[in-house]
Amino acid sequence: MKTITLAFTGASGLPYGLRTLECLLAAGCTVHVLYTQAAQIVAKQELGQTWPGRADDLARQFRSQYAVGEDRLKVWGQQEWFAPMASGSNPGDGMVVVPCTMGALAAIANGASDNLLERAADVMIKERKTLVVVPREAPFSVIHLENMLRLARLGVVILPPNPGFYHHPKDIGDLVDFVVARILDQLGVPHQLMQRWGD
């Protein structure tokens, strides 16, 4: 099955990220999780979850929560340059940044590579692998739009978390699943989150 890098930043919308993690694991994927310090704050604010600062501790927490082993779920710190996704020799099959702050998006668009998240995204671009960014901001400024256009021209998928309503959502979970379904489609990961248009 696929190996996917999943990055959480400090933008609002962490339920999209955790639902993506859950679905990737359910589909049999191996997932490498990256997270920023700001994502820890968002986890507490939006979900009431306390994420430890050490990657190993968060890995244990997630493995227990999702009932998977170390072979299926790894969590990496932002300065762990020997992580597989830091090199084009072992990039995995795809990467998604969900939610993605405008700061992270700008750093990726300009090739900053100052931490593992940015470097992993840079590797995806240079190796022509699937990179999906889920920018959570409103409204977008010209700077934001120009950075997104730069990434789109490089083949990056820009996927704002804009749920549709034609599937008659019953609750917030249905709205989250609409966006996560689009993310999984871009990664080529099978799912049954919702009925497809025309089916």
- Which residue positions form the known binding site for dimethylallyl phosphate? 166, 182
List residues forming the annotated binding site for FMN. Answer: 10-12, 36, 136
State whether the Cα torsion 43-103-133-110 is positive or negative.
negative
Under the phi-then-psi rule, with left for phi > 0, alpha for psi from -120 to 50, and beta for the rest, what region is 54?
beta
> What single DSSP character describes residue 85?
G
- The C-alpha atoms of residue 72 and residue 25 are separated, in whole angstroms, by 7
List residues forming the annotated binding site. Answer: 10-12, 36, 136, 166, 182
Count of residues in the chain: 199
Which helix (H) or strand (E) segment holds residue 135: the answer is strand 130-135
Amino acid in the structure at residue 90: N
Backbone angles phi and psi of 60, in degrees to 5: -60, -40
DSSP-H helix ranges across 27-141: 37-47, 55-66, 102-109, 116-126
